[in-house]
Amino acid sequence: MSTHSLWQLVDSDIQAYKSHASAFLPRKAGLLRTISVLMTPPLICSGGYRLAHHCFRRGHVRIAWVLTLINQYLTGASLHPESPIGKGLYVPHPYGVIFHGTAGEGLSLLAGAIVTPHVEKPTQGTSLESAPHLADRVSVGASALVAGAVSVGDSALIAAQAIADRDIPENARVYPPRPTISR
């Protein structure tokens, strides 16, 4: 993943939000509407993560963790500051989202999505070598789990409540198992 400046990454996240939200945003928004859109939880979440990751990369680890905790308090999302995520991060409903891995451009994380090296302790710190690697344009659905040192290919979709615990090829779809009924 190439290195982009903090402001380029934040701008790409805003553009991703705008493209997803174009259905309910007016074509010509005024200044007040623009400011209110910038203060929504999805943009606070991605902006807070970008700032924490920027500090982490610069060696300011304690500041990065403080920013991560503030972001978690404000939005309910825990995005590990060490985790590199490409341009166009989209987290429409950040509450319950946990991310500790690597990801390419165009990542979408829906409410309650968990991407972690550990199933038992998803917020426990480990190296990125044992964490999941998500390629470009991956979508992780609501309450879905991607766990372990797995690779997820380009344009893959992990559906709501699905579990991805092995490598997923590009353009693949992962659906949750059917419920079983026992008597």
Q: How confident is the model at residue 62, as a pLDDT?
A: 95
Distance CA 163, CA 147 (A): 8
Taking residues 138-145, what's their average pLDDT?
Answer: 95
Give the Cα separation of 88 and 136 in Å (integer): 10
The rounded distance, in Å, linking the Cα atoms of 101 and 84 is 7
Domains of the chain, each with CATH number or no CATH: 6-174 (2.160.10.10)
Question: Taking the model in full, what pTM does it have?
Answer: 0.85
Separation of alpha carbons 122 and 163, rounded Å: 14
Do residues 158 and 144 lie in contact, with contact meaning Cβ atoms separated by under 8 Å? yes
Nearest one of 26, 84, 81 to 53, comparing CA atoms: 81
Q: For residue 81, which phi and psi values (nearest 5 degrees)? A: -65, -20
Query: Lowest mean pLDDT: which of 13-27, 33-47, 169-183?
Result: 13-27
Give CA angle at 123 (75, 127), nearest 5°: 125
Q: Please report, as a single letter, which amino acid is at residue 140.
A: V
pLDDT tier for residue 20 given thresholds of 50, 70 and 90: confident
* pLDDT of the residue at 166: 92
CB-based burial label for 114 (10 Å; 0-12, 13-18, 19+): buried
